[in-house]
Amino acid sequence: MNTLAQGALRAPSRVSNLWATQRAKILAVVLILALAVVLYMFFDLDYFYVFNFNIVGAQYLTTAEIEKASGLRGYNIFFIDARSTERALAKLPEVRAANVTTRLPNQVTIEIQERQPQIVWQRGNESYWIDADGVFFRARANLAQLPVVRDLDQGVVKAGERAQANAVAAFWALRDAMPESPRNLEWSAARGISFTDGHGWKIYLGDATDMPGKIATLRTLIAQLSAQNARIQFIDLGKGDPYYQ
């Protein structure tokens, strides 16, 4: 066998020996390069960062308010803690509950359960909504169908906090006992819930205590006074026995 042929046989053998001895290092380098590419895709490309949201259920809150409260804009989707985000959203006075889900590569869905306004609470020139749980939140629209309670005491109102329990209880007690009661009502700590009836008479009903009994007495008294063509200014049932003048 000539020298050239012998050299040709040794070359593959050298390559095989080199691969056998350096295989682990070569594979490590390849893995490192692959990991570097993956990390670049995860952390440097916009592909995995959140810039758009799918918001479901919001009626009064704006998209901008929800996005800001979530704190997720521009966030890498792999680092999003859905439960923490839900707690952050629940701090908005308008939010009763929130659910956050994520989906690769960068999709975030935020489901909002808003508090539903039941009462308009007026303090001076300010208006707030109160939901069924008695929580204050900012009035964002003119809902003509809602009853309005004017706070004569001008008490402190903070969105996210609960309204005075006795005031809310008196309102609901009146609505249950007298569904046709006027839309516009008033509240004061001294005289409780009150309204002006169709005769122009001021009706004071106090707190929620025995509201059905008070309304039954009121109906009887109004019928009697109307039959007498009486001219009165107010009827006060807040302390139990009716008093009018």
Res 154: pLDDT: 87
pLDDT in tens, 20-35: 666 666 666 666 655 5
Written out in words, the top-level CATH class of the domain with range 119-244 is alpha beta
Answer whether residue 4 shows pLDDT above 80: no
Q: What is the pLDDT of residues 192-206, one digit of tens each?
A: 999 999 999 999 999
Give per-residue pLDDT as tens, 110-152. 999 999 999 999 999 999 999 999 999 999 999 999 999 999 9
pTM, full prediction: 0.80
* pLDDT given for residue 16 in this prediction: 64
pLDDT band at residue 155, thresholds of 50, 70 and 90?
A: confident
pLDDT, mean over the chain: 89
Confidence of residue 15 (pLDDT cuts 50, 70, 90): low
Confidence at residue 156, expressed as pLDDT on a 0 to 100 scale? 86
Model confidence band, residue 186 (pLDDT cutoffs 50, 70, 90): very high
Q: Do domains 47-114 and 119-244 have the same CATH topology?
A: no
Residue ranges of domains in the chain? 1-44, 47-114, 119-244
47-114, what's its fold? Ubiquitin-like (UB roll) (3.10.20)
| Average confidence (pLDDT) over 157-169 | 95
Section 42-61 average pLDDT: 86
Are the C-beta atoms of 113 and 133 separated by less than 8 Å? no
Q: Are 88 and 71 in contact (CB under 8 A)?
A: yes
Average of per-residue pLDDT across 63-82: 95
